[in-house]
């Protein structure tokens, strides 16, 4: 089973690239951002709790994220999924360890971790533009965008080190056309297979 973690800060293009990779490799895309938005839209207890953190530009606590993620993983496996792209998860070393345990219980493991790297200036520009197009309030405030990027760098970057120690991490240049970034990601996956 091909399981890929797609890693990168807000605005790095993870969602766009994840969909392209799912189409090419026949994988199921699990995005914590989509999970959060779905739970918030349904106004579940977990969704309301997650919204409080997201509105402040903070990461959602591990226990909330892991609970949502585990449930979705089981649902997709029961539906016949043969591989996954994990987008936005794990965001902490604790979540990475939890993911390893969740997958091991299902006789699965991570095959490759792809970290998309984009300059802060380009990230800010992309997120603000996305906010104008989507109307997402968390993407319209430049101060909040800067806080989200800083939060990502301070709390999530150590996860790269965790996967680098296991020989799974590949750094992917995230600037350029969608097609150029997709080609770089595909090459990294093909070399892992």
Considering 49, 94, 130, 155, which one is annotated as catalytic? 130
Catalytic-role residue among 14, 112, 126, 184: 14
What sign results for the dihedral spanned by CA atoms 45, 30, 131, 157?
positive
Catalytic residue among 72, 91, 170, 184: 91
Structure tokens, 53: 């953190």
The Cα 112–Cα 191 span in angstroms is 10
Annotated catalytic, 183?
no
130 annotated active-site: yes
CA nearest neighbour of 127 among 37, 9, 44, 19:
9
SS3 letters across 168-183: CEEEEECCCCHHHHHH
Whether 112 is catalytic: no
Task: Check 72, 112, 126, 148 and give the catalytic one.
Answer: 148
The verdict on whether 41 is a catalytic residue reads no
Q: Is 72 a catalytic residue?
A: no
Q: Are the beta carbons of 118 and 12 closer than 8 angstroms?
A: yes
The strand ranges marked E within 39-163 are: 83-87, 112-117
Check 56, 106, 132, 136 and give the catalytic one.
136
* Catalytic residue IDs: 14, 91, 130, 136, 148
């Amino acid at each position: 089973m091909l399981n890929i973690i797609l890693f990168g800060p807000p605005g790095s293009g993870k969602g766009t690239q994840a969909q392209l990779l799912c189409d090419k490799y026949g994988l199921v895309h699990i995005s914590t951002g989509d999970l959060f938005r779905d739970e918030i839209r349904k106004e579940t207890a977990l969704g309301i709790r997650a919204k409080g953190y997201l509105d402040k530009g903070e990461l959602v606590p591990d226990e909330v994220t892991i609970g949502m993620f585990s449930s979705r993983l089981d649902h997709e496996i029961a539906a016949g999924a043969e591989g996954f792209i994990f987008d936005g998860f794990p965001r902490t070393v604790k979540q990475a360890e939890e993911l390893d345990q969740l997958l091991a219980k299902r006789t699965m493991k991570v095959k490759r971790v792809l970290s998309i790297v984009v300059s802060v200036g380009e990230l800010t520009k992309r997120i603000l533009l996305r906010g104008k197009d989507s109307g997402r309030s968390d993407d319209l405030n430049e101060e909040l965008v800067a806080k989200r990027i800083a939060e990502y760098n301070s709390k999530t970057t150590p996860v790269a080190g965790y996967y680098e120690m296991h020989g799974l991490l590949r750094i992917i240049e995230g600037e350029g056309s969608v097609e150029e970034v997709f080609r770089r990601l595909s090459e990294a996956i093909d070399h892992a297979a």
